[in-house]
Amino acid sequence: MNVDLNIISHAVLDDKIFFTKDEKKEVKSQLGGPVSFASTIFPVLSTKGRCITTVGRDFPKEYLEYFSQIKNCHFEFDYSKKTTRFLHQIYENFRFLYLLEQASNLDEHITKFPGAKGCLISPVYHEVTSKTVEWACEEHDYIGIDVQGFMRGLDTNNKIILLYNPQILAELTKNANFVKYSLNEAQHYTQKKSYIEILEGLPSQNTQVVTLGREGLLFSKNDRYYKLSAPSRIERDPTGAGDVLVSGILSKLVETDDLEISIAFGMALAAEKVQIDRLQPLASNDYMKIAETILESLERLE
């Protein structure tokens, strides 16, 4: 199958506990991970995608059936002993994340597949190495990287913590067209707090995208720094919004080669995702119109 984008990451089973003022809500074995959330955008796009992953024999058959029915998206998986599984403890303004199980490395599985126009590398916990990054750079015209899985370590309770590895990250991301960080990851990488100092401290050879949650995001372009505001939405579950964002950016970038509109387009898709508390294809909408409205909020940081 010829595709426009390859999406590389582990599919994930998420156990979630939502803590609010009034109640505690638990969800077990919810489908997640970057390949899963990326799959939700393809039914509303003309772009065709291939999601490449490994899952365990414990991966529910109904999820395999879900992937088989996604329009414009082909799901390629190899079996592992286990499926990667996380526990999310979600509070109103913060969350904790624990690694419970991990599927096998993706490096050998990935190289079986042909390249495409674009490739998103979005590990959740060290399932790819520089070997995958090198393959992606050789076989694709556009590369997007979400650093989350490259920056993660574990404490003694298997809680996810951030690693300080700027030299390794700079090497892994040097040939990407854009690199996405959460604000927490970018602060940890640069050891800075202000927006301009953070963007100045990140590698300058490519576009850096730093997400700010409900506030929107920061990005760099030609050594200049900008902020875009997110549209106001009722947030039901932010899980996967970053995955939708970067997948949306890359999908529009391979189509238009326009960085600003691509970032705004990814934000429009992510704004739709946060309103949904389960994994399902995004609803049809005029996302380009929403992106154009988001671009009106463009602010240069000086």
d(CA 216, CA 232): 10
- CA 196 from chain centre, in angstroms, equals 23
Angstrom distance (rounded) from CA 39 to CA 55: 16
- pLDDT for residue 238: 81
Structure tokens at 69: 């029915």
User: Which of 3.40.1190.20, 3.30.1330.40, 3.40.50.2300, 3.30.70.1230 is the CATH number of 5-301?
Assistant: 3.40.1190.20
CA distance 108 to 51: 15
Domain positions in the chain are 5-301
Q: Which residues of 160-197 are buried (b: 16+ CB within 10 A; e: fewer)?
A: beeeebbeebeebbeebbbbbbbbebbbbbbebeebee
pLDDT at 118 over 90: yes
pLDDT at 278: 79
The pLDDT > 70 percentage for the chain reads 100
Q: What is the dihedral of CA 126, 201, 225, 134, to 10 degrees?
A: -40
Which pLDDT tens digit goes with each residue over 233-286? 888 878 889 999 999 999 999 999 999 999 999 999 999 998 987 788 999 999
* Contact between residue 268 and residue 243 where contact means Cβ atoms under 8 Å apart: no
Q: Tell me the pLDDT tens digit for each residue of 119-149.
A: 999 999 999 999 999 999 999 999 999 999 9
Q: What is the pLDDT of residue 29?
A: 92
